[in-house]
Chains A and B, each alone.
Chain A
Amino acid sequence: MQAKKRFLLLWFIAFFVLVMCLLKTNRNSDDFLHLAYQIDDVEDLPSFMDDWQQNVEVGRPPAFKIYETRHQMLFHSSYRKTNKNCRMETCFDSSHCDKDFKVFVYPLSELENNGLINSIRSVLYQKMLDIIVESRYYTDEYTKACVFVVAIDTLDRDPLSPDYVRNIPMKIQRLRHWNGGRNHIIFNLYSGSWPDYNEDDLGFYTGDAILAKASMSVTNMRPGFDISFPLFHKKHPERGGEPGYVRSNTYPITKKYKLAFKGKRYVLGIGSETRNSIFHLHNGNDTIVVTTCKHGKNWKDAQDERCDVDNSLYEKYDYASLLKNSTFCLVPRGRRLGSYRFLEALQAGCIPVLLSNNWALPFDEVIDWNKAVIWADERLLFQVPEVIHSISDTKLFALRQQSQILWEQYFNTIEKIVFTTFEIIKERLPKLQSRDGVVWNTSPGALVSQHSYTEYFNFNMPFNYHLLGKKPSSNFTVVIFSQHNSINTALYRLIRNIVASKYLTQIIINLCADNGGKSGYQKIAGIQILISSGNGCSRFEPLPFIKTEAVLSLDDDVVLTTDEIDFAFHIWQSFPDRIVGFPARSHYWDNSKDSWLYTSKWTNEYSIILTGAAFYHQYYNTLYTRWLSPLLIKTVEQSHNCEDILMNFLVSHVTRRPPIKVSQRKHYKEQVSNGMPKSPWNDPDHFMQRQTCLNTFVALFGYMPLLQSSVRFDPILFKDPVSNFRKKYKQIELVTN
């Protein structure tokens, strides 16, 4: 018995030792691996900055400011396609860009004088030039210009194409301000030709000019100099533009197909490696990849045994419906790296899966494309299904939303594409740069975020408060727009009500009537009020005196109670990007008249808040004055009317949201009695004019940006059967319509 016990014990011990031995050797082998990199006295090791004569080193000399004068290249020297060494610091003269970023377009007359009238521009290029000329960037004085745009169509540089313009080298040399291409932008959609589709081959020497070019490769671009340009159709709209297809943001994304592609298959030549193998991904089930070799005149010469099978399958699927019904869209390279389908997929909210190694995506200098596309590798084609299945539903949800944001912000019109190109160049100039990646990659984007270091605002933009964890300011400035020279009793009463608000910072009276351009403080109703005049009757002038983010814009004959003001301000703080105000108007489409109509009738919906009594972010003053197309401003100036409609257009265009109406109040002016002079608001001509404005604005914006809302904001206990005593905004209860 005892022996057995002892024996057991011994065996146990032996076993224990054995196990420990095994464990030990295991650990040893582990140690052994790391031992190869082990050093015992790590602390005694020298630093990489030691043992080295640093103090005798002398810094580099400053770079030259004066650019070497480029000797004019002869046009036969097109063996060098571009000046590969160009960078902004060496090939771009920013001295004319200090204050403002202006673009000079070579006038047509100059070409005519040189006998170059025969160079016909494509419709597309003409559209681009027109857009620039009508924009705020344009200047007709070349001395003020920062950037030059040539009037010679350089979009299509494929000699086999009908739009190919000949003799460009000669034409370029005759440009008066060419200067080796310095500060010029060359727009290009296609370069090179069959068979090698050489990216650099534009058929002329572009020298120091910045290339805004489609289908560039990352490694071939001059970093920080060239701009990767999107490839878009000839019929791309100039303004307005189509919205993205995603109008209902469902979660999770459940589409019929996971991955889709319908397009050409290249049997041979550049790009064929990818295009000739993607059909392997097709499974007829959730992955539809159909190709055809039926393209070009002589397709039959090169057809292979797959062509017949391909073509029959190809006919079965419709491209547009694939776009709409697929979660991912394959975007393989064509002969060139870029393809139309990239933007098509983006618009459709079909997440692009890129098979185009080394392609510089459009505007990739500023856009974080990882937020909207999936990169696959041409070399790892067969990993594509695995890659796209690894994307989580939440990521997919984000990708699709971002695709829509990017499409609408930068790509859906020619105007946006051209302006984005300019903004990128502007961003590179030390004195004008200001917008970080957050602005570029979130809604509403950089095109509507105009500011720079030199005139850096002391406030936040109305967007992205939530993302940045900031809050809109807790007080406001009142700007009373007055057409009269005298201060009447109505104004006195109004000021008294305003002053009672505890959120008020300052009252400014923006005097339209010219009283000799005198500005200064004046004491009205017991408060110092700043009278600002000489602004040429521009209601939305970004006055430097406005120090708060919120502006309460008022007409001088408005009737408003303190409670209404405070309550509206409270709502504005929750929606700082919108116009929040009292009197609402609406617009609708009249089929019989084939035009937009404006109405001040009581309706169940509204789309305009009159700025005679409304809160908005002061940044919109800046946008209104400095960003809106000059043609729009001109319309307002000529009619002495409609500035409030234009402001509503602007804000709805930027935010893609309707304004907000507060409480019941509809009449916000003193009721006109018979003896009083006629208010312009009751004038039918005035009304007709507003109708005309509405339609002019739509034409100039290219679409109708106004959005309808059918909600109104009231205080929580508004008209509730509780004692008025318990209500915070008592005065609002008493306002009747």
Chain B
Amino acid sequence: MFIRLACCRLLRNRKLIYISIFISLLLSFVYVVVAPHVFKLIQKPPSKTQEVHQYVIPGDSPIISMDTHCTFYNCFNIYRCGHKFKGGFKVYVYPMARYLDTDGIPIGGKISKEYHTIISTIVESHYYTANPEEACVFVSSIDTLNQNRFRVKETSQALALLPYWNDGQNHLIFNMVPGTAPDYKTVVDLSIGKAMVAGVGFNSWTYRSSFDISIAIYSDLAILLSNNFTFKLRPIFITTVQTNLHNDFFMYLKSIEKQRSMIRVMERCSNGEHNKSIICHGNITYNYADIFSDSVFCLILPGPRLMDVALIESLAAGCIPIVAINHVVLPFFEVIDWKRAVILWSETELNTLLDTVSGIPLDRRKEMSDQGRWLYRKYLSSPKIITMTTLKILSQRLHPHSSDFYEDWNLRPYHESARNPLFLPYMSDSSGFTAIILSYNRIDSLFKLINMISKAPSLQKIIVVWNNQYKSPPHFSVWPKTDIPLKIVQTTANNLSNRFFPYREIETEAVLSLDDDILMLTIDEIEFGFQVWKEFPDHIVGYPSRTHVWNNKTNTWKYESEWKNEISMVLTGAAFYHKYWNYAYTYIMPSNIKQWVDDHMNCEDIAMNFLVSNTTNKAPIKVTPKKKFKCPQCINTEMLSADQGHMATRSSCINKFATVYGRMPLKAVEYRVDPVLYKDIFPKKLKRYNNVGEL
């Protein structure tokens, strides 16, 4: 405002007008670009003293001890966490503050890097809210990660003084190192009433099911181990990695080591008591980080606390952990299936460990090691990731209907794996199918086709997709009269993908997709095709087939319509498939494939074959030997050498789709399916599907 006034005053002096413009530009520049920096500089020192509040905790400030009977249902106020906020619940983080006791001594050490990351992760996440009134969960900014770094009583008092504390209800306390000498409790010793603990090293008595969250301890070394991982020979079979084990464990393991050399028992180096980066075996000194990468299995035993960094570091280094800690609650056990990466053992059964573990085959070991490293990177590798995993688990508890499934949490994304959406092992009992005919203007042949297929006993409905925007479908009165309901869909654009739209009118499980010129199918062939589909409901079952071949010269895929010994696609000009694939084609398939199909007016059938094969890892099924399907007078366009262009386009489709999927999902197979008594010399009367297979 003041700048503007100044300018106005200057305006009166015409000579100074340019100067005024210049100055105002300069001023605005200063104000916009330079001032904030200066502002920051000026503001910074006071911000430290002014914004970080300082509280003095009265010595007699009341505390309530931790409620061991808390469950999600009796201690958590769910009414704070309504559905109104999309994306789940909201977390409020108390502002940073300093807490002193009456003598002016801080209640704990300086906030740690890790706790600071936890807080800023929450603040930057979509869970954060600045408004405590709309918060569902509260997180304090008092660093409670390591019980050895704060005073328990005073910290409890400080927490109880938080403005929205309310006996700790809906508060989440993060802790990674609970317990202090000599008893090393398995849960942080704070008196926090009804607050939840996101802690490490619970045992099954201190962990309050459905209430606490078992998280992972963060390790700096693990990141290094994970980054430096290489596949190499691991000469040692089992190693121990902890130096702070109880003497009884040492003695016992040493005695095993003496009998069998399969195990290596590490010790603290006698000369380097305080050097954590070295570890000894006999008189050999090892770099602590190295012992994880030269051993197949890492034996993890109870240290002072039930869970320490050893598990995390083993996972990161690909050393398969054998966790022999009785009663331990593993990190994120609610969602992570540790059995896939860790061998769970009992600390009292160490004598039989070697025999069992040595029986585990090599590929299983590799699988476990890979899974362990993946779990580490995905859920445990940084304070940020640990925090986000914790919040996600909390979110699943609050909204269990939107939980991820076991497979989402535990299966490594692997491009060869396929989660078949049609996973029910069944043979369909469907009584019939819906025929969908794609038509543009060939009315004669369309009507012939309708007349022909309407005789199929299992046909329940015909849907004609009229893809012509310039010409309306023929008047109702001229359509063939059939007993089967007939429905005509006028599309709004001439897209081939229209034939795969999941029309609501399709009420059957199975769809028979047809081109309007497929006139040579017999009723027996259709009925047999439907029977085959019922036996293989997750496959595309069709009549005309094609295959793809690798062209070594051009290093590309080639579309092949010759009669070969293999097939990898069936054309959807005549094919049965589950209606689900219509939905998948329209809404799940990569949109650039659909775009490509509509742009090129071609390859919708190839796209469908890619989609199904990519989703299920299964090949389509060709039924009957039939090769010709169109009207007898017509000539197969694909067979014409003149139509080289068509073949080239189809080949380019295959190459394009393979690029989009990042792999070639099509599977070539050498079989087709015929009726059981096909070509058998056997009375026709007793044979079903007689009229199958005339070419």
Q: Which residues of A contact B (CB under 8 A)?
A: 6-7, 9-10, 13-14, 16-18, 20-21, 24, 33-37, 39-40, 42-43, 45-65, 85, 87, 89-90, 94, 98, 218-219, 221, 223-224, 246-252, 254, 357-358, 368, 370-371, 374-377, 379-380, 383, 386-388, 390-391, 393-394, 397-398, 401-402, 404-405, 430-431, 433, 435-438, 441-444, 453-458, 465-470, 567, 570-571, 574, 584, 602-606, 655-658, 661, 664, 666, 707, 709-722, 726-729, 737
Contacts and interface: CB of A to CB of B under 8 A. Distances in A.
A386 B82 CA distance: 12
Contacts of B678: 664, 712, 714
A247 B406 contact: no
A430 B401 contact: no
Contacts of B146: 48-49, 52
Nearest to A84: B205
Given A87-B327, A247-B428, A718 B625 contact: yes
B676 A45 contact: no
A468 B371 CA distance: 13
Given A224-B204, A664-B680, A386 B83 contact: yes
Given A45-B113, A62-B347, A709-B535, A656 B21 contact: no
21 contacts: A14-B7, A18-B4, A47-B220, A48-B143, A55-B244, A57-B184, A59-B303, A62-B302, A62-B347, A358-B71, A375-B400, A379-B73, A397-B580, A430-B349, A437-B339, A467-B420, A657-B535, A711-B532, A715-B672, A726-B565, A727-B565
A456 B410 CA distance: 21
Interface in B319-361: 326-327, 337, 339-340, 343-349, 352, 355-357, 359-361
A376 B21 CA distance: 66
A87 B414 CA distance: 37
Contacts of B111: 39, 45
B114 interface: yes
B425 A574 contact: no
B24 interface: yes
A466 B420 contact: yes
A223 B248 CA distance: 28
A370 B502 CA distance: 27
B682 interface: yes
Interface string B63-93: 0000001011100001100010000000001
Which interface residue of B208, B347, B695 has the most chain A CB atoms within 10 A? B347
Interface in B359-374: 359-361, 363-364
Given A20-B28, A57-B244, A65 B565 contact: no
Interface stretch (B116-124, B491-499, B644-652): B116-124
B11 A394 contact: no
A370 B409 CA distance: 12
Interface string B241-272: 01011111100100000000000000010000
Q: Nearest 7 CB-CB pairs, A to B?
A: A469-B416, A469-B417, A247-B429, A36-B95, A375-B400, A48-B112, A401-B424
B231 interface: no
A6 B21 contact: yes
A401 to B, nearest CB: 4
A224 B329 CA distance: 11
Given A24-B32, A250-B579, A717-B565, A17 B400 contact: no
A397 B31 CA distance: 59
A118 B379 CA distance: 58
Contacts of A34: 123
Interface string B282-315: 0000000000000000000111101000000000
B162 interface: no
Query: How extensive is the interface on chain B, given as a class?
Result: 35 or more
B468 interface: no
B509 A251 contact: yes
Nearest to A471: B416
B674 interface: yes
Contacts of B73: 357-358, 379
Contacts of B227: none
Contacts of B625: 717-720
B112 A10 contact: no
Nearest to B110: A46
Contacts of B414: 468-469
B359 A456 contact: yes
A70 to B, nearest CB: 18
Contact of B406 (A42, A404, A438): A438
B130 interface: yes
B401 A36 contact: no
Nearest to A466: B617
Which interface residue of B204, B616, B695 has the most chain A CB atoms within 10 A? B204
Given A17-B4, A60-B303, A89-B327, A37 B337 contact: no
B476 interface: no
Given A62-B348, A714-B678, A370 B672 contact: no
Which interface residue of B249, B415, B617 has the most chain A CB atoms within 10 A? B617
Interface in B140-157: 141, 143, 145-146, 148-149
A218 B618 contact: no
A246 B207 CA distance: 40
Contacts of A570: 669-671
Contacts of A7: 11
Contact of B361 (A13, A458, A709, A721): A458
Contacts of A714: 671-674, 678
A602 B361 contact: no
B337 A567 contact: no
Interface in B507-566: 507-509, 531-532, 535, 537, 545, 563-566
Which interface residue of A6, A62, A85, A94 has the most chain B CB atoms within 10 A? A62
A346 to B, nearest CB: 14
A113 to B, nearest CB: 36
A58 B407 CA distance: 39
Which interface residue of A64, A89, A402, A711 has the most chain B CB atoms within 10 A? A711
Given A39-B111, A52-B146, A59-B244, A246 B424 contact: yes
B691 interface: no
Which interface residue of B27, B403, B537, B578 has the most chain A CB atoms within 10 A? B403
Given A35-B51, A249-B426, 16 more contacts: A10-B7, A58-B304, A218-B71, A370-B406, A394-B421, A398-B423, A437-B339, A454-B355, A454-B359, A466-B417, A467-B418, A570-B671, A602-B680, A604-B677, A715-B565, A728-B565
B429 A37 contact: no
A90 B326 CA distance: 9
A58 B250 CA distance: 12
Contact of A383 (B83, B130, B404, B671): B83
Given A37-B120, A604-B675, A710-B675, A48 B149 contact: yes
B348 A716 contact: no
A100 to B, nearest CB: 15
A15 B508 CA distance: 65
B302 to A, nearest CB: 5
Which interface residue of A249, A401, A442, A727 has the most chain B CB atoms within 10 A? A249
A657 B425 contact: yes
B17 interface: yes
A377 B401 CA distance: 10
Contacts of A249: 422, 424, 426, 428, 509, 537, 578
Contacts of A371: 405-406
Nearest to B309: A49
Nearest to B417: A469
A639 B429 CA distance: 36
Nearest to A457: B361
A368 B406 contact: yes
B405 to A, nearest CB: 5
A358 B208 CA distance: 12
Contact of B360 (A13, A453, A737): A453
A60 B304 contact: yes
A587 to B, nearest CB: 14
A226 B672 CA distance: 52
